[in-house]
């Protein structure tokens, strides 16, 4: 993957669970990896569900392959462009060429 297309800072986050003093679980998100990558925007989709209009924006993020990006999963998420993105797929490209992460940002 050439350096030119990697012109956006992408923050990958991983869920962490903390047990409070009463034994309850508190879920929080911590930054897992901050990387430069390329973004390919998908088309927005609108749908009507239960008389409520919602929209979603898909995008594909391309980053270099390393131990962090190869360990990404759909349990992680992305913080990018002022929004939170739910990862829907993680696909390695070639022999350590890069990783393609598809995610959706939902808007209420």
What is the pLDDT averaged over residues 54-69? 90
pLDDT for position 50:
44
Distance, CA of 62 to CA of 6 (rounded, Å): 8
What is the pLDDT averaged over residues 9-31? 94
Residue 51's pLDDT band (cuts 50, 70, 90): very low
| Residue 69 three-state SS | helix
Boundaries of every domain in the chain = 8-107
Lowest-pLDDT range of 10-14, 48-52, 74-78: 48-52
Longest dimension (CA), the chain: 51
pLDDT score of 80 more than 60: yes
Structure tokens that stand for 88 in this block: 């829907």
pLDDT score of 64 more than 60: yes
Distance, CA of 91 to CA of 69 (rounded, Å): 10
Higher pLDDT, 47 or 24: 24
Residue 94's pLDDT band (cuts 50, 70, 90): confident
Of 3.40.50.300, 3.90.1150.10, 2.40.10.270, 3.60.15.10, which CATH number belongs to 8-107? 2.40.10.270
């Amino acid at each position: 993957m050439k350096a030119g297309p990697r012109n956006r800072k992408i923050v990958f986050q991983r869920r962490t669970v903390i047990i409070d003093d009463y034994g309850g679980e508190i879920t929080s998100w911590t930054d897992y990896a901050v990387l430069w990558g390329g973004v390919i925007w998908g088309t927005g989709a609108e749908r009507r569900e239960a008389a409520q209009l919602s929209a979603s924006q898909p995008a594909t993020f391309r980053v270099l392959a390393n131990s962090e990006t190869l360990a990404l999963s759909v349990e992680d998420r992305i913080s990018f462009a002022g929004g939170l993105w739910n990862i829907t797929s993680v696909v390695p490209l070639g022999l350590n060429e890069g990783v393609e992460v598809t995610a959706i940002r939902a808007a209420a």
